[in-house]
Amino acid sequence: MRKRVVITGIGGLCGLGADAPAIWAAMRAGRSAIGPISNPALHDIKVATGCEIRKLPEHGVERKQLVAMDRFSLLAVIAAREAALHAGLTIDETNTHRIGATIGVGVCGWEVIEENYRAILLEGKSRAGIFSVPKAMPGAPAGHVSMNLGLRGPVFGVTSACSSSNHAIASAVDQIRLGRADVMLAGGTDAPMVWGILKGWEALRVLSPDTCRPFSADRQGLVLGEGAGMAVLESYEHASARGAHILAEIAGVGFSGDASDIVAPTIDGPESAMRACLADASLNAEEIDYLNAHGTGTRANDQIETAAIKRVFGDHAYKLSVSSTKSMHAHCLGASGALELIACVMAIREGVIPPTANYREPDPECDLDITPNTAHERKVRAALSNAFAFGGTNAVLAFKAV
């Protein structure tokens, strides 16, 4: 019999707030944190719109660990500590080898790479910083979470662009299902608000000059943001035995590859991932009440995702509540799926569908109920969270009430 995997704690920070309750409160209110980029170091940016964390919360991470950390690792540690505290998780020598971490990142530690380019090419320094490699490596956040919380179970990083969080969470589910761990910290992190990365995205011509308005006919593209999200995953038996408060169950996961184009998505890939997720969760399409869309705000992506949803759900697609919370926290790349996990879990907990903010004009090609601008109440028995990435790597998660 396959082990059930449940969520017992969540944590996060992004432009919407410094912890998971603040993020959810902003989502419920339909408040977008997207705005002009404030960092004066980000000069010569033609599309100077983003979603920044203006001030980090007090975190208590020791200087000895901080000097070897890039920003994306620090964000992951802050979110992981919140999730562990929320779960009431005690980690000691009796269980440390049965607790691990899988953390998704978009690419790597961009901040330290840019610092080194500036130091060597502009300032004439002869060498890079001594911690450059361990700070930049994509597995660094998982390693730092492991060190900070004392986790000696399965620990590794996952990178698949915008699907990284969902792949990392699904990998954590696998560790528990396979008996390799009882508890996993899983989620994602990214800190792309640096000059070189913004210039690179600018060159792709997919950034919106003002804000992110997914599914709206006048949408102009995506907006980048920074943040981290984390969840404590446990086997149902382990959570029950220790008397943990169970928030929701991860009912299933689904993967697919487009096998088509490095940047242009297909309909078939997302469709296949959603179908695989429903099958893994043993859920019928009609049992899904809420779908947190990938919903980036680009013209092609939103239309393709809408078409894929219609293929999978048929007539029920028009009974679904759909929304894109990227309209509020922006596209945090490797962290997006983990922040959207917070939206799905809390939608199930509170019976509230977070809205798609900034919506202005109906698009006949995106004609589902995308919950425009204002949250609404609805009982949510089960929810899907979509993540589709460059390279055609698709990952979908299914959550349900317990």
Residues carrying an active site annotation:
162, 294, 331
Q: How many angstroms separate the CA atoms of 372 and 376, rounded?
A: 10
| Residue 43 Cα to chain centre, angstroms | 28
Q: Is 101 exposed, middle or buried (0-12, 13-18, 19+ CB in 10 A)?
A: buried
On whether the CB atoms of residues 70 and 141 are closer than 8 A, the answer is no
Q: Which residues contact 378 (CB under 8 A, 6 or more apart)?
A: 289, 290, 321, 351, 352, 353
Q: Where are the alpha helices (DSSP H) in 42-128?
A: 63-66, 71-86, 110-117
Q: How many angstroms separate the CA atoms of 113 and 60, rounded?
A: 25
- In terms of Cα–Cα distance, which of 327, 339, 308 is closest to 371? 327
Q: How many angstroms separate the CA atoms of 83 and 359, rounded?
A: 32
Q: Which residues contact 398 (CB under 8 A, 6 or more apart)?
A: 250, 251, 252, 253, 254, 277, 278, 280, 281, 283, 288, 382, 383, 384, 385
On whether the CB atoms of residues 186 and 6 are closer than 8 A, the answer is no
Give the Cβ contact number of residue 43 at 10 Å.
8
The pair of three-digit structure tokens given for residue 138, joined into one six-digit string: 């994509």
Give the Cβ contact number of residue 36 at 10 Å.
9
- In terms of Cα–Cα distance, which of 350, 336, 288, 344 is closest to 314? 288
Full DSSP string of 341-394 = HHHHHHHHHHTEEPPBTT--S--TTS-S---BSS-EE---SEEEEEEEETTTEE
Helix (H, G, I), strand (E, B) or coil at 58: coil
101 CB-side CA count, 13 A: 32
